[in-house]
Amino acid sequence: MTPASERVVDLRARTILRVLLIVLAVGVTLEVLWIARHVLAWVVIALFLAVALDPLVSRIERRGRIGRGPAIAIAYLLVLIVVVAVGATFVPKLIDEVNGFVQATPGYVHDLTNGRGRLGFLERKYHVVEKLQEQVKSGGAKKVLGLSGAAVAVTKSIITIIAATVTIVFLTFFMLLEGRSWVERAYSLCPEHSQPRWRKVGHDISKTVGGYITGNILISLIAGTSMTIVLLVMGVPYAVALGLLVAFLDLVPLAGATVAGVVVSAVAFLHSIPAGIVVVVFVIVYQQLENHWLQPVIYGRTVQLSPLIVLISVLVGAELAGILGALAAIPVAGTLQVIVRDQLEARRGSAPRADLPQSDPG
């Protein structure tokens, strides 16, 4: 028997160099994306806001017969009026409740120190005050509270939030102002016979993202309102403030509702044990209801996704990219569904629907 012949593959130096350059380019690109991940998050948020405001801006532009820039300014003004109106309705009550909580804090501290009240068991059983005093004597306040970097961290966070807000506002403005022209340029790169098809795809994607934003806001309003009602029924103080906190945090899928539930439950237990138990039960039941029924149903109607796809996409997005992944999971899934549906229609040879905007051949 003759031994099996060996096959030798001779790679050219140019091929090896090309592969190395491709690997290097991919690595550099991923590194740049990782460094700029916060800015990219701002861009994604601005894109969502631009898609959500575009119908309002278009309606103002069409009915008022004015330019795109003034229409955007009017839309911004209307949004600001709504925010101010909501603030004028809730902020006075919110300020009163926060002041009441601040005034009640010394009483909570006094009860804790003397082993009385709702938190008195911490001193009676675990001697928290004595242990805290020992830590202060041995390491100082910096060691106990981490004040060495806390002030710097808080300052940096405040500056980052202000910079992010201003940047997102301007990004949204310019996306609304120039977004259509960029989209038209992208369409013009396609062959003329395929432009109606891609315009249909873009229209469906825009509708999907807008539906997601509308559904997310609706779910947050339901969460905040229901929590406020439960707190008012149980007589828990600061009900309006806590309800607003729940509505705001519930905008973040999965994690936001959990954080809000912990805070609200703690305040309810400080009021009374029965109120705390009722709030904890409500938080658990409502989170299950929201995650497994409310979100799939609302997103299924606004984003046109099945409840199963909504649930799976949120879980996968949260696992891959945390909060940002959970926020972007549903519109990404909706976008993929639009593209897949378009590919299936193209294979079947179906024509674009007549109710969607078509390109003007003239």
Does a structural domain hold residue 121? Answer: no
Q: How many domains does the chain have?
A: 2
Residue 359 is predicted with a pLDDT of 45
**What's the rounded Cα separation, in Å, for the pair 93 and 58?**
36
**Domain-terminating residue out of 189, 204, 222:** 189
**What's the rounded Cα separation, in Å, for the pair 64 and 79?**
17
Distances (CA, A) of 83 to 90, 188, 240: 11, 39, 16
Residue 28, H or E segment:
helix 13-35
Does a structural domain hold residue 75? Answer: yes
Distances (CA, A) of 234 to 96, 230, 278, 327: 19, 6, 8, 33
**Same domain flag for 256 and 166:** no
pLDDT by residue for the chain (362 residues), tens only, comes to 555 566 666 667 788 888 889 999 999 998 888 888 788 888 888 887 888 788 888 889 888 888 888 889 998 998 888 878 777 766 676 677 666 666 666 666 666 666 666 555 655 666 666 666 666 556 554 454 454 555 566 677 778 888 888 898 899 999 888 888 888 888 888 888 888 888 888 888 888 887 788 788 888 889 889 999 999 898 887 788 788 888 888 887 666 778 888 888 888 888 888 888 999 999 999 888 887 788 777 777 777 777 677 778 878 887 777 777 777 788 888 888 888 888 888 787 654 554 445 444 43
Q: What are phi and psi of 104, to 5 degrees?
A: -80, -15
DSSP string for residues in 174-224 = HHHHHHHHHHHHHHHTS-GGGHHHHHHHHHHHHHHHHHHHHHHHHHHHHHH
Q: Which of 247, 218, 253, 259 is nearest to 325 (CA)?
A: 253
Does a structural domain hold residue 275? Answer: yes
**Same domain flag for 259 and 163:** no
**Same domain flag for 176 and 285:** no
**Same domain flag for 285 and 168:** no
Q: What are phi and psi of 3, to 5 degrees?
A: -65, 150
**Same domain flag for 151 and 92:** yes
**Same domain flag for 253 and 223:** yes
**Domain-terminating residue out of 189, 204, 223:** 189
- What is the per-residue pLDDT across 137-157, written as a single tens digit (0 to 9) for each? 565 544 544 545 555 666 777
pTM over 0.85: no
Residue 357 is predicted with a pLDDT of 52
**Same domain flag for 274 and 286:** yes
| Domain coverage including residue 55 | 38-104+147-189
Does a structural domain hold residue 353? Answer: no
Q: What are phi and psi of 88, to 5 degrees?
A: -65, -25
The answer to whether the CB of 32 falls within 8 A of the CB of 43 is no
Q: Which of 200, 229, 216 is nearest to 341 (CA)?
A: 200
- With H, G, I as helix, E, B as strand and everything else as coil, classify residue 360: coil
Residue 115 is predicted with a pLDDT of 62
Does a structural domain hold residue 33? Answer: no
Distances (CA, A) of 148 to 136, 154, 251, 309, 310: 14, 11, 33, 46, 44
Tokens of 224: 């905040």
How many Å separate Cα 348 from the centre of its chain?
37
Instruction: State the amino acid at position 125 in one-letter form.
Output: K
**What's the rounded Cα separation, in Å, for the pair 155 and 162?**
11
Residue 23 is predicted with a pLDDT of 92
